[in-house]
Amino acid sequence: MKDGIPIALGYFAVSFSLGIAMLSAGMTAVQGAVMSVSNLTSAGEFAGVRVIAAGGGLLELILTQVIINLRYSLMSLSLTQKLDEKVTLWQKLLIAFGNTDEIFAVAMNHQRSLTLPYMLGLQSLPIIGWTAGTFLGAVAGGIMPRSVSMAMNVMLYGMFIAIVFPVARKSRAVLIVASIAVFCSCLFRYVPFLQGISDGISIIICTIAAATLGAIFFPVDEKEDA
């Protein structure tokens, strides 16, 4: 739970602005809280709220979530390699439900094998922070200035950088792989014919490209890994 405190604080700030966006889309604070506690995804929820606000259909909403959140499948597959052998299939499914970008990064940097109690402790506060932030943001509504609400979105990226940067300073391989991912992301942001690709697909492509190049040029020595 201690490892999850920084994530929970960051999630609270970001989901607060999400709650305000939900209110603008015609949702209530309770609906927003239910949506957040059952969908732990910042990009997915923000995209979902935009679809709801635009009057999109259920099929469009489902496809949007599948595309944007497909990266969690890759993260969960990677995370299983570090789980304790005693973790059962149903326990893995429970862990996968709360597997987000930041939780995945902290878990992968954990020095020991990942047990069910550790993962539940790591995930519990971020889930509470994300849900509570959404609810309180919707309740606050238009009280908070929009400029302050938009500024809160930066905190999520700052928190993720704070997780990755210390590891990148110690490992040249991590630094290069992270740089490759950033470069690929910039291509999707600034190259004209790539800008039409959705955020979810671009994240998946960047992840696979960076991971593949990292595996080719910086293979892990099995003896050292053991």
CA angle 56, 10, 69 (to 5 degrees): 40
Q: Are residues 76 and 141 in the same domain?
A: yes
Q: Are residues 127 and 92 in the same domain?
A: yes
At 55 the pLDDT is 79
At 226 the pLDDT is 43
When pLDDT is averaged across residues 99-112 and rounded to a whole number, the result is: 87
Q: What residues pair up with 114 in beta bridges, in sequence order?
A: 83
Q: Are residues 141 and 190 in the same domain?
A: no
pLDDT interval class at 78 (50, 70, 90): confident
Indicate whether this model's pTM tops 0.95: no
Q: Are residues 211 and 185 in the same domain?
A: yes
Q: Are residues 70 and 87 in the same domain?
A: yes
Q: Are residues 177 and 223 in the same domain?
A: yes
Q: Are residues 131 and 92 in the same domain?
A: yes
Q: What's CA 149's distance to the chain center, in Å? A: 19
Q: Are residues 69 and 122 in the same domain?
A: yes
Domain range for 93? 5-165
Q: Are residues 97 and 124 in the same domain?
A: yes
Residue 153 or 167, more confident:
167
- Total structural domains in the chain? 2
Cβ-count burial 80-114 (b if 16+ within 10 Å, e if not): eeebeeebeeebbeebbebbbbbbbbbbeeeeeeb
Q: Are residues 146 and 199 in the same domain?
A: no
Last residue of a domain, one of 118, 146, 165: 165
Highest mean pLDDT among 124-133, 158-167, 201-210: 124-133
Q: Are residues 47 and 125 in the same domain?
A: yes
Q: Are residues 28 and 122 in the same domain?
A: yes
Last residue of a domain, one of 121, 139, 165: 165
Q: What span, in angstroms and rounded, lies between the C-alpha atoms of 104 and 122?
A: 10
